[in-house]
Amino acid sequence: MTSKPFILTRTFNAPRKLVWETMTQAEHLKHWMGPTGKLSHATVDLRPGGLFHYGMAMPDGTTMWGKWLFKEIVPPEKLVVLVSFSDENKGDTRHPMAPVWPLQTLSTTTLTEKDGKTTLHLHWTAYNATAEEQAVFDSMHDSMTQGWTGTMNALETYLKERQA
């Protein structure tokens, strides 16, 4: 059984090179990544086998940790990562609010440019998940749409600021 992919497409009024930099450099990711649009911690080792490790300050004062393990990097057009929740020491952890969420998910992001605008296409699936974990992932697409819409809105705002 494979999970139903979560797919998101968004076009930004920005050149692909700028979108790529904004998505792969810690000094930029910390300003827009995540539903809150702000990270309290961000480090990037952009190479196959490297990590993007981040902490997101939550309203209750705790930090939610996550990481991307870079699997494939084709600048400035493709990024394939294994996504997981994490701890501050870069260990894999379960989703703090959804214990049956897959331990890892696979995300492929492609960027295409036309007439100075960049289209981001995100394809996201459960990875090495049990049937129960896949079902939970599949059932959360509406919630993921809401979260990713907030993240993409923050990215759009940040790209406008960078171009101003």
Residue 51 lies in a domain: yes
Using CA atoms, how far residue 116 sits from 111, 136, 146, 156, in Å, is 12, 38, 27, 14
Residue 3 lies in a domain: no
| Res 68: pLDDT | 97
Residue 43 lies in a domain: yes
Say if residue 126's pLDDT is above 70. Answer: yes
User: Residue 89 gets which letter from DSSP?
Assistant: T
Nearest to 18 by CA among 134, 147, 128, 158: 158
Average pLDDT on 74-90 reads 97
Residue 142 lies in a domain: yes
> What is the CATH classification number for the domain harbouring 67?
3.30.530.20
Indicate the pLDDT class of residue 60, thresholds 50, 70 and 90: confident
Q: How many domains is the chain partitioned into structurally?
A: 1
Nearest to 103 by CA among 128, 122, 68: 128
Is residue 2 a contact partner of residue 114, using CB atoms and an 8 Å limit? Answer: no
Structural domain harbouring 79: 10-163
Say if residue 37's pLDDT is above 80. Answer: no
Residue 153 lies in a domain: yes
| Res 26: pLDDT | 96
